[in-house]
Structure 1
């Protein structure tokens, strides 16, 4: 049992006893050490039975309460990102929190079928129950339950084989805290740095001063938060970072001034060698550039460990990849039963989605050519998600225009985009692509570029099933990174939808389209 209370109250912002990133990191380190001891004795397994905190974890109120719980939950004042990361990392069997002064028993969530407790035939998927408790004898909050009865077989006993673990309840939901850490296995010191990298360990109080609390006290963090989906840096034409944080902005500025080659004495910070700009580093950015890349990864929009990931777009999540709606989607959902009309799609919610690797991945090429189990596993699940989305499209007489644009840069997280187009227009895809490439002095190829670090645009031809490629020259400054979107807009006769910024809608409209797509996609969602 691990208690954690920051002593937070509305009038105690200066309380020196409030926890900070160091306290969270130390606690997770202790859990990792205990897990390793358990692994030496029996097998790798989570070691926390009960976690007690004051704050609720941010994002936990995403399911209907259990019977007997409060019918509604007020706007939370003490939700905390660091508590979310803590809970996602240590995976307690029970998590109790009292900060909201209401009783709320959430439906339990399961950590997939890979994280199990018990041994042999007695093994069972691991799950967490979250319970919010009311205050003791405080009439101002009404008659909220402040007690909870349970019968728990300790995880240590289950792992040692002396007690059977509890089976996962049938009403388990998906993990609502996956964006704060989806480890896929029990925490140990080998993966501890990955978890701690997501914690602010500056020592500042975890309150309104660092903008981590949601909502009720959250400050404007637009500059610290990652950019929206499909945001493209105007300096290097790459997504994944704000233009003010561009790792190559100095080189780009010199190039615009006519300096194609670096000046005498310039040394690349990636490989510590002269003769080329950092953005053209042939080794992909090793050496001193790793620190810069690591900083970019901590703000990566697609990495689920980033606490600022926009949950408003999330559709489904598996073991290796997840599905999300596209920001500024090219198509929108039309009326039920209607045919395709311009950018009005018959697929509920529109259907423009992204299939994204959970682990930070700069290119899907390795999933096709790599020999490791991890690469093959990721490739297989991406293909499985793509097939599931295609099956939904087929129900509405559509085929997927599936494409990836990769510059093989370590701080850019790649994704497979899928846009539904009418089945009768499938044959127009390749001719339209060849015409667009010819206008830009490019050609359509049948394979990846020769260099492993060379960029490419990859497309699956819906008519023939062939994989088509457009190689991105290393020195290309004018390559349109939205080539796939321009291709789809051309085929649909909707040129005004080529640029995503012109298609952004309100958060409520995004949520409505997402919910309609989720409802239609549910029967194809193999992670449910």
Structure 2
């Protein structure tokens, strides 16, 4: 289980830097160490002279502090670069909008400014495109998106007090675009300011586009102004495990005071402007730099056609053209497919068979790519055969951004126990594998967008499981390393089996040479 992160969040600072940082330093010494201080609302005020000692280095800020951008014209001049910059040591402006991924795995989404109601954008405002970009950034590469840990917006979301049993009567200026954004990225904590009000709303259960999905809950909190004379709460502490490193059962647990979502069903619309576009499945990828908004389409076209989002292959770990790919592990390259060693492999020649360009899963490969995939599977089988081993192929189309067919060899005498072992370990994880008829193919069973686990046994039998909510990520490995098969239980998690790059390079050279006589001729 990942380590919990300790985070402080404060409301409008309004130039009271000395008071804020002294208070934070005291709290950090007494109850810390804290990993971050996050500030929402108006950070700068009419008089910002108290920041000068921190800028000059005469004073220091005790913990890394992140702020979001200006909410009024008078404050724009205090931000050297509106796209994000360091203001002084341990004080960073995150930028107009985006997703900050901390090294711990904590996901912090943020949106600077106030909602723009006119057609002309200002340096301290956001519009529908901005919230769409944040949504796309959060969902990109997340086939089973759970949500983000924290959402920072200075304005409140419109309608947030709806369904609160206490029926608060606040006079606040809410943003419909922020309500839409919160609905789509499902923050565990949503923090706002600007109203000099402390409001701790009961947690609400996020909406789902499909009825059978159980979404996580969100807790919204508004914080008052730092050092306000009414002594309203302006500082809040969080202690949480990152969402992607938490058990799903922990994330969806219900509380006695939770409510339904305060936002209308219309916020599930994929377009914040309310155009009747088709709901996007999170199996598709979103590009934060997409130019779709600039295309000249009329409302009718946009209503009847699925929005086209381009995937940036340069940022995919497995697209061969990407600078992120581990090219030193590549064994063979064809026209459509390439073969590579798996990082932290179960055995030295644990292979990945992957499309050269971006394809999400085995079930939706174009015919030419699927044909070359078959040739590589046959080549891998012949390579293993020389040492009396047979391949087990499996794919997990869940929390993976690029089609990866894994090939792990076992001794041919162990093959008869495979089917029963897969079924038994699946039952231990509370699911059942379904056999695919001999005359059927995966693409006939798994429709586009479906999440699944798929395994192909050495005798040609195929089984799959349709993933609905959660799935043990190391399931395929766990079966093969079990006592009945390879008896290598200490190699169930790839992270425990990693080599350094020098060792990986040497191993790849050795396997590349051994595989050469079996290489695919395309």
TMscore range, shorter length: 0.3 to 0.5
**Structure with greater strand share of residues:** 2
TM-score (norm 2): 0.44
Max Rg structure: 2
